[in-house]
Amino acid sequence: MADGGVLAVLAGVVALALAGLAGWFLLQRQSAAIGLTNLGTAAARKSKSVVLTGPMGAGKTALWCYLRFSDTSATQAVPRTQTSMAVNTSEARIGEANVYLVDVPGHQKYRFDRDAQLAAASAVVFVVDSVQAARDVRLTAEALYDVLASDGLQERECPVLVLCNKQDSALAASNERVRAALESEINTLRASRQQALDSLGAAAHDDADKASDFLGFEGKAFSFEDLATPIQFNESSMALGRGAGGLEMVEQWIAGALQ
Ligand SMILES: Nc1nc2c(ncn2[C@@H]2O[C@H](COP(=O)(O)OP(=O)(O)OP(=O)(O)O)[C@@H](O)[C@H]2O)c(=O)[nH]1
Ligand SMILES: *[C@@H]1O[C@H](CO)[C@@H](O)[C@H](O)[C@H]1NC(C)=O
Ligand SMILES: *[C@@H]1O[C@H](CO)[C@@H](O)[C@H](O)[C@H]1NC(C)=O
Ligand SMILES: [Mg+2]
């Protein structure tokens, strides 16, 4: 009788332990999927997180490869990359700082990973394909809008560098042109997003969360000057690499942004 009681208690303990283990395992998988394990590592090592984001094919992974090995000698060829299929992270030393470099894939299906990474970012480099932006700026403007309006970014005044990449191409738009085109396209986007919200009715309109999505001032054309985050537009070419490619400027900007 007593033995039966002990056995029952033992079975209960084992069942509980198994349930706990399964739960822990599921949580691990979930956090790995959204890159939280990596954020944990960054916090543990007290490195600040620098997030590279922007549309597909802009040159984020190429930039990431350069920044990871800032003290190696110049490689003139653009790093060979493939469309990224996962968030990739690496420790790097930039200037005096140990940073945690996060390369977020540009594809829309990674937008939740992107937002999770942006929530922990100390600085953001938004990489733009300046050839694509010269042709059709819509996609880039949408991606930049989402980044700038992401949770807490404006509140934290997190610095943003918009890197107008692929300047080695004759078809590339300059940083000034990219800035002007994005400013006017975001103005258009903002109006259409606001209209979509309005059509949802007063309830949605009163929602404080939705209101904070609005960039700039109502009744005034959108301007990057009106944002709380410091934002700067510069040019680069991963194909030209160090020196002419403008990598040093990016490193200096990151070092300055983290101070
Ligand atoms: N000509 C030129 N090509 C570049 C430059 N930077 C990147 N590329 C090329 O553009 C392509 C895309 O570069 P990636 O670094 O993989 O782009 P990404 O932003 O990581 O793209 P996703 O991972 O899809 O989000 C590659 O073929 C690169 O070699 C550049 O400055 N000039
Ligand atoms: C991350 O980068 C490393 C080193 O370049 C590479 O070996 C690995 O495959 C990358 N992982 C992903 C998910 O892209
Ligand atoms: C980067 O942009 C800033 C602001 O537009 C400008 O003052 C600076 O000279 C640029 N840097 C380079 C290296 O072009
Ligand atoms: Mg990539």
Residues 94 and 217 in one domain: yes
Query: What pLDDT was estimated at residue 69?
Result: 80
The alpha carbon of 31 and the centre of ligand 4 are apart by a number of angstroms equal to 21
pLDDT, tens digit (0-9, with 9 covering 90-100), for 33-85: 444 444 545 444 578 999 999 999 999 999 999 998 865 555 556 678 889 99
In a domain, 222, yes or no: yes
Residues 148 and 234 in one domain: yes
Residues 89 and 175 in one domain: yes
Across 199-227, average pLDDT: 74
CB 39 within 8 A of CB 120: yes
pLDDT, tens digit (0-9, with 9 covering 90-100), for 74-121: 555 667 888 999 999 999 999 888 999 999 999 999 999 999 999 999
Q: Which among 112, 111, 91, 109 has a CA at the least distance from the CA of 100?
A: 91
Q: How far apart are CA 58 and CA 164, in angstroms?
A: 9
In this structure, the residues whose C-beta lies within 6 A of any atom of ligand 2 are: 84, 86, 88
In a domain, 108, yes or no: yes
In a domain, 40, yes or no: no
In a domain, 156, yes or no: yes
Q: Residue 142: which CATH number?
A: 3.40.50.300
In a domain, 100, yes or no: yes
Position 117, amino acid: Q
Q: How far apart are CA 164 and CA 119, in angstroms?
A: 23
Q: Is 111 exposed, middle or buried (0-12, 13-18, 19+ CB in 10 A)?
A: middle
Residues 87 and 181 in one domain: yes
Query: What pLDDT was estimated at residue 100?
Result: 95
DSSP H or E run through 231: strand 231-235
> In sequence order, what DSSP letters do the residues of 141-184 get, joined into one string?
HHHHHHHHTSTTHHHHT--EEEEEE-TTSTTPPPHHHHHHHHHH
Residues 12 and 52 in one domain: no
Q: List the residue whose alpha carbon is closest to atom 13 of ligand 3.
A: 249
In a domain, 39, yes or no: no
Residues 86 and 179 in one domain: yes
Residues 8 and 121 in one domain: no
Residues 26 and 53 in one domain: no
Here the tokens at position 58 are: 């802009």
Against a cut of 0.75, is the pTM above it? yes
Which ligand gives the minimal distance to the CA of 55? Answer: 1
Assess whether pLDDT exceeds 60 at residue 219. yes
In a domain, 245, yes or no: yes
Which residue range is the domain that position 11 belongs to? 1-33
Query: What pLDDT was estimated at residue 33?
Result: 43
Q: How far apart are CA 71 and CA 238, in angstroms?
A: 16
If one counts the domains in the chain, the total is: 2
Here the tokens at position 88 are: 């990739």
Mutate to test the pocket of ligand 1, among 52, 53, 56, 61 (most ligand atoms within 8 A of CB): 61
Q: How far apart are CA 107 and CA 84, in angstroms?
A: 8
Q: How far apart are CA 28 and CA 230, in angstroms?
A: 35
In this structure, the residues whose C-beta lies within 6 A of any atom of ligand 1 are: 56-62, 78, 81, 83-84, 105-106, 127, 165-166, 168-169, 237-239
Residues 25 and 134 in one domain: no
Radius of gyration of the chain (CA): 22
Residues 114 and 181 in one domain: yes
Q: List the residue whose alpha carbon is closest to atom 10 of ligand 3.
A: 234
Assess whether pLDDT exceeds 70 at residue 135. yes
Residue 113, SS3? helix
Question: Token match 């990359």: residue?
Answer: 81
Q: At what angle do helices 247-257 and 60-68 cross, to 10 degrees?
A: 80
Q: Give the CA count within 13 Å in the CB-facing half-sphere of 216.
A: 19
Residue 1: pLDDT band with limits 50, 70, 90:
very low
Question: Token match 């949605």: residue?
Answer: 204
Q: List the residue whose alpha carbon is closest to atom 6 of ligand 2.
A: 88
Residues 23 and 83 in one domain: no
Residues 75 and 2 in one domain: no
Residue 239: pLDDT band with limits 50, 70, 90:
very high
Which ligand gives the minimal distance to the CA of 89? Answer: 2
